[in-house]
Structure 1
Amino acid sequence: MFKNLSLFAMLVASSHAMAESSYFFDEQDGQLDLGHHLAENAYGFLPVPVIITEPAVGFGGGLMGLFLHETEEEKALRKQKALESVDGGAQLIPAAMTLVGAGGTENGTWFALAGHRHSWLNDRIRYTGGAGAAKANLNIYTDLGGILPPNQSIKFDTSTEAFFALQKLQFRVADTPLMLGVKQIWSESSVSSSNQIIDWLLQKALGDKHTTSGLGLVAEFDTRDNMFFPKNGYILSAEYMAFDEAFGSDSHYATLNASAEAYFPIADKWTFAVAGSYDEIYEKDTELSPTAKPYVDMRGVSAFRYQGEQVGTLQAQLMYHIDHRWTVSSFYGYGVTQNESFKDGLESVNAYGVGFRYQIARRYGIHMGIDIAASDEENALYFKVGSGF
């Protein structure tokens, strides 16, 4: 979920293998690369330094570790494909991968998590699961149910401590890119505020502990040429989650999420990409955590800064591939929210920026880099793995 700092940290983290002079350099182009380390080292992993510059929580950092699990036959096939063409190995999807990590920020926010993705029968059956704990100190913005004028809101601080877990099981439909499945989410949290009135309201509505538990349906249609950094194809996904007492939840509501990404090679070294999302929450009671509502999730916009019962985003990105290692990009995004209590207008935000990526593991097509983004109120620096959407 990193050029100079990242590459330095990777070299330090993998110093035990430096005995082989070519260990960190691609045998085809001689460039710095961790593909061999990931594939051939039994304990090899991709260390991803987390440099947090999210305006909502302040500066901070941490470390994630991505482990890719392959059989000897899978490793041999990927190596062969990588030697045959520059991006040959990237076309093969790892059967299993594990992610572990932890981090924190200057305002006291922290997280620790672990997740695993596994597939069987040539990716006909796929399972994803994860669990963790976190504390998030966030400012929440509200229009007081429509009392305030359009595009105006007040904010109050919240501190949320939570344990969470999720799992998703998907099945491929025949030999198509379509996968259907079920998803389960569980969390136990406590929410407080330094504002005594807000804290009293939160305790009255949610109590000392609040359990959220939901079950839902998911669908995904994926034709991308590379799951880590696609240059062609598209992915469409949708999920509907129901949170109810029947599943052990203290809250009673439902959510709908639909999203899409599409990548178009428009010239030899150019790729144009677009992404869109729509989120909606159907409230059946009012005792919800302040972070339950969907929010505009885009580079350059603080998390939970723009929330609503309905949230939509549209983003575009133009990428120029200097060569198979280096890519520079520019991007723009537009987000909008709607609340049922405030029908006279919409709240919207624009965001834009530039960035670059370096392909750090050619066998897998993994790219890492930096995005610099700005919006109507703020700007931020992001260290990213993948396209940035």
Structure 2
Amino acid sequence: MPRFKSRLTISLLLSSSFFLSSAVSAASFTDPLDGEFDMSEAIAENPYAFLPIPIVLTEPAIGYGGGFMGMFLHESKEARDKRKKLALESVDGGVNLIPPNFTIVGGAATENGTWFVGGAHRHTWLNDRIRYLGAAGYANINMDIYHEFDQIPVDKNLSFESQTEGFGGVQKLQFKVANTNLYLGFSQLWFHTKIGAKEEIANDILQRVLGDDSTSSALGLIAQYDSRNNLFYPTSGGTAKAEYLWYRDGLGSDYEYDTFTLDGKYFIPLSKTWTLGVAGNYQSLTNADRSLPPLARPYINLRGISRYRYQGDYVLTAQTQLMWQVTPRWSLQSFVGAGSAAEEAHDLYDDTEVAYGAGFRYLIARRFGLNIGMDFAFSDDDNAFYFNVGSGF
């Protein structure tokens, strides 16, 4: 049965402006160039102002729900004045400048008891030569897991509703190599979780195999090439990132394994109003302990497919998206993707899952190229819609 709700428009953003500080009430929400609703001035001119982001959850894995997040942009007066001047001169003025530092905080909950709170901060120094990203949060996640346990005599994955409760965070620090688009750096992850299941038999198995709680801790290396013309909604250029993580007892981890992720996105301008986006993602898990938490293994991550529905030690996905800029403010997009998960690399794409859909975006903050909107996605097993900031990739 389709899992769609039928009504969500830009009015959500208008009503959400109630949450803005009263100090921002004098700020204009009308763009001086086209007279359309725009939040650039509100979030740029006042340090307490933020872009309100409603969270609408129809993720099949956790059910219907929602919440709210605020996005605070931090920019120096010099950078702010330069961006404002360029934005008054042309429609896309200021978009190609170095993106401002930003902080996101908020939370959400769903009908099946899942909830989370958290925040993230992105900061750059020395004209974008140093990049830092940090995030932390607390979550209680209830979702269906399809998992194979070596310790029990079954020849197929078990399906059960799991409950993962815990807290943790991630940090990434990258340095630009000379005057290139290449960044090299380090990453750190740390999570402490308690895993259980609502079904008594599945819960007993989890407790026997994984224990009451566990800690996952890793250090890693990152290499990233980034030539996108805009961080939030690129229309040309691309990014390719490779990251290798080591989970080790010496770092405080209860499990030992390695993960490797190769992720790429590229945006090809076909004309002034049409852009083709292509993306690919490869993940592997190697040198692993016999038993790992169900959420540790890679999974197919495509719009329209339930998260953690298809897991394996090797995962490969590919997708493409066609974007049409109908007006300077509104754009439409269609997308299709295919993914495969397998226990061995040579078995990838023996079984393939396909997802497709369409969506729209509204340019909510023209100075920064910030677009928000919704995507409606379909697959053989699930249908869902997503509220997105950015391209959706």
Give the TM-score normalised by the residue count of structure 2: 0.93
Q: Does 1:42 align with 2:47?
A: yes
The 8 Å contact of residues 47 and 74 in structure 2, kept in 1 or not, is answered as no
Deviating more after overlay: 83-92 vs 211-220: 83-92
Question: Which of residues 338, 341, 352 in structure 2 aligns to 1:337?
Answer: 341
1:236 matched to which residue of 2? Answer: 240
Question: Which of residues 259, 263, 266 in structure 2 aligns to 1:262?
Answer: 266
The 8 Å contact of residues 269 and 275 in structure 2, kept in 1 or not, is answered as yes
1:298 matched to which residue of 2? Answer: 302
Gaps of 5+ in 1: none
Partner SS, residue 91 of structure 1: coil
C-alpha displacement at 1:219, in angstroms? 1.0
C-alpha displacement at 1:293, in angstroms? 0.4
Q: 1:52-85: per-residue Cα shift (whole Å, max 9, x none)?
A: 1100000001111111111111110010111122
Give the TM-score normalised by the residue count of structure 1: 0.94
Question: Which of residues 56, 77, 84 in structure 1 aligns to 2:82?
Answer: 77
Matches within 5 A, 1:21-32: 23-32=28-37
C-alpha displacement at 1:168, in angstroms? 1.0
C-alpha displacement at 1:345, in angstroms? 7.4
The residue type equivalent to 1:16 in the other structure is: S
Matches within 5 A, 1:1-12: 3-12=9-18
CA shift in 2, pair 1:109/1:239, >3 Å? same
CA shift in 2, pair 1:86/1:286, >3 Å? same
2:93 matched to which residue of 1? Answer: 88
CA shift in 2, pair 1:345/1:233, >3 Å? closer
Q: 1:339-368: per-residue Cα shift (whole Å, max 9, x none)?
A: 149959733210000100000000000000
Q: Does 1:252 align with 2:256?
A: yes
Q: 1:235-257: per-residue Cα shift (whole Å, max 9, x none)?
A: 00110000000101000001000
Question: Which of residues 113, 129, 138 in structure 1 aligns to 2:134?
Answer: 129
- C-alpha distance in 2, partners of 1:345/1:235? 25
1:206 matched to which residue of 2? Answer: 210
C-alpha displacement at 1:13, in angstroms? 2.2
CA shift in 2, pair 1:342/1:320, >3 Å? closer
CA shift in 2, pair 1:148/1:276, >3 Å? farther
The 8 Å contact of residues 101 and 112 in structure 1, kept in 2 or not, is answered as yes
The 8 Å contact of residues 317 and 332 in structure 1, kept in 2 or not, is answered as yes
Q: 1:262-302: per-residue Cα shift (whole Å, max 9, x none)?
A: 10111221111111100111142123110100101111000
| Runs ≥4 residues deviating over 4 A | 341-345
- C-alpha distance in 2, partners of 1:64/1:339? 37
- C-alpha distance in 2, partners of 1:34/1:164? 32
- C-alpha distance in 2, partners of 1:374/1:212? 33
Q: 1:195-224: per-residue Cα shift (whole Å, max 9, x none)?
A: 222212211222112000000001111101
C-alpha displacement at 1:17, in angstroms? 5.7
CA shift in 2, pair 1:335/1:148, >3 Å? farther
Question: Which of residues 33, 36, 43 in structure 1 aligns to 2:38?
Answer: 33
Give percent identity, aligned residues only. Answer: 45
CA shift in 2, pair 1:344/1:132, >3 Å? closer
The 8 Å contact of residues 372 and 388 in structure 2, kept in 1 or not, is answered as yes
**Number of aligned residues:** 385
C-alpha displacement at 1:100, in angstroms? 0.6
The 8 Å contact of residues 327 and 356 in structure 1, kept in 2 or not, is answered as yes
1:56 matched to which residue of 2? Answer: 61
Question: Which of residues 99, 110, 121 in structure 2 aligns to 1:116?
Answer: 121
Q: Does 1:273 align with 2:277?
A: yes
- C-alpha distance in 2, partners of 1:220/1:345? 27
C-alpha displacement at 1:19, in angstroms? 4.9
The 8 Å contact of residues 324 and 331 in structure 2, kept in 1 or not, is answered as yes
C-alpha displacement at 1:162, in angstroms? 1.1
CA shift in 2, pair 1:266/1:94, >3 Å? closer
C-alpha displacement at 1:96, in angstroms? 1.7
Partner SS, residue 307 of structure 1: coil
The 8 Å contact of residues 9 and 47 in structure 1, kept in 2 or not, is answered as no
C-alpha displacement at 1:10, in angstroms? 3.1
Question: Which of residues 99, 108, 112 in structure 2 aligns to 1:107?
Answer: 112
- C-alpha distance in 2, partners of 1:174/1:340? 39
The residue type equivalent to 1:312 in the other structure is: L
Question: Which of residues 206, 217, 222 in structure 2 aligns to 1:218?
Answer: 222
The 8 Å contact of residues 21 and 49 in structure 2, kept in 1 or not, is answered as no
Q: Does 1:97 align with 2:102?
A: yes
Query: Aligned Cα RMSD in Å?
Result: 2.1
